[in-house]
Amino acid sequence: MSTRSKEFSQLAKECEKDLRDLVNLPDNYAVLWTQSGAFLQFTSVPFNIGGSRENTATYVETGHWSMEAAKEARKFINVAPAWKPQQEEYLFTLPETEELNIHKDSKYVYYCDNETVHGVEYHTPIVTEGVPVVCDMTSSYLTKPIDWDRVDVAISSAQKNLGPSGITSLIVNKDLLGRKRDDTPIMCDWETQHNCGGFYNTPNVFALYLCGLTLKHLKKFGLEFYDDLAKQRSKLIYDVFDSSNGFYKNKVNPKHRSRINCQFTLKSKEEDDKFLKAADEAGFLFLYGHDKYGGCRVNMYNAMPLEGAEKLRNFMKQYQDEQERL
């Protein structure tokens, strides 16, 4: 299909409409589809809304992905930390709005809604007074309604709940377009992409087509349904941890437990490995944690039915019983 064809522009139009309907997006927000994942947007944010290299932006570092974003941003702007966690605390809890220290000259505040690796999630968005908010929603996108009064830029790599990897949904408050630095690389340039209908270079047509199918499916149920489903699924798993007398350990502050990524460890790395092997043999695949941090993790995106979580719950209980009988 030619990307200049009317078929493609119809596809793009429908995707945008379905996305707008699904997330209830106000008209003053632009919808862009970009490539190179959320990572390219880690670079793009300071170029588009940070202004000059001497300016400052506040980053709420709460785990792996916000730390990656801040690390990249530091190349292009001064990064002010929003809170000072106790050692390693950031891995298990989140600062509430009142605990945040937003730099007085901050060009924007950046945070991650759901830390996929560390399993912490903001259940109510952070609030700032008059400072644009950039939110990485990659792993919680389309799993709950979004409060657009609290978010100016939403970055979401598609591969969790929207479509295949290689396409990213980027939503930008149009008031922020026009603030870019002169040396903004073209593929990072939101304003130019917006001005040419959302696509500057050859788009990933097939990925967009798949996103379109997913959006139509999600629209049949709505985001409240997926929020409820995520809560039910994750409760099943957290209940296993909480009733296991420490056999399965999850250190996340219960207030901030992710509905999507439930991370845990057993008594030792050897016990983690033994559990993972048994789970794999029983057909429960990919329960290992992130390469860098180890442990185990249950990732449950929109496509996971409640029955999937129930089966895993039963397996985990049975595994504990068997191990304790040895």
Ligand X SMILES: Cc1ncc(COP(=O)(O)O)c(C=O)c1O
Q: How far apart are CA 77 and CA 43, in angstroms?
A: 10
The single residue listed with the structure tokens 């690796």 is 117
Q: Is 102 exposed, middle or buried (0-12, 13-18, 19+ CB in 10 A)?
A: middle
Question: What Rg value do the Cα atoms of the chain yield, rounded?
Answer: 21
Alpha-carbon distance 219 to 92, whole Å?
Answer: 33
Active-site residue flag, 65: yes
Catalytic annotation, pick one of 136, 152, 189, 272: 136
Q: Catalytic residue at 160?
A: yes
Q: How far apart are CA 181 and CA 185, in angstroms?
A: 9
Is 211 or 266 the residue whose CB approaches ligand X more closely? Answer: 211
> Which two tokens mark 306?
């409640």
Nearer to ligand X, 31 or 137 (CB): 137
Q: Is 204 in the site for ligand X (CB under 6 A)?
A: no
What's the rounded Cα separation, in Å, for the pair 246 and 324?
Answer: 12
User: Which residues does residue 33 pair with via DSSP β-bridges, in sequence order?
Assistant: 169
- Our finding on whether 49 is near ligand X (CB under 6 A) is no
Stretch that binds ligand X, among 22-30, 35-43, 122-130, 281-289 (CB under 6 A): 35-43
Q: Which of 160, 180, 190, 272 is catalytic?
A: 160
Using rule CB under 6 A, residue 37 touches ligand X = yes
Residue 39 near ligand X by CB under 6 A: yes
Contact window for ligand X (CB under 6 A) among 36-44, 94-102, 223-231, 249-257: 36-44
Residue 33 binding ligand X, by CB under 6 A: no
| Binding positions for ligand X, 53-112, rule CB under 6 A | 65, 112
Find the part of the chain contacting ligand X (CB under 6 A) among 34-42, 77-85, 266-274, 288-296: 34-42
Residue number with CB closer to ligand X (91 or 240): 91
- SS in 3 state form for 47-79? HHHCCCCCCEEEECCCCHHHHHHHHHHCCCCEE
- Site of interaction with ligand X (CB under 6 A): 37-39, 65, 112, 116, 136, 138-139, 157, 165
Tell me which residues are annotated as active site: 65, 136, 160
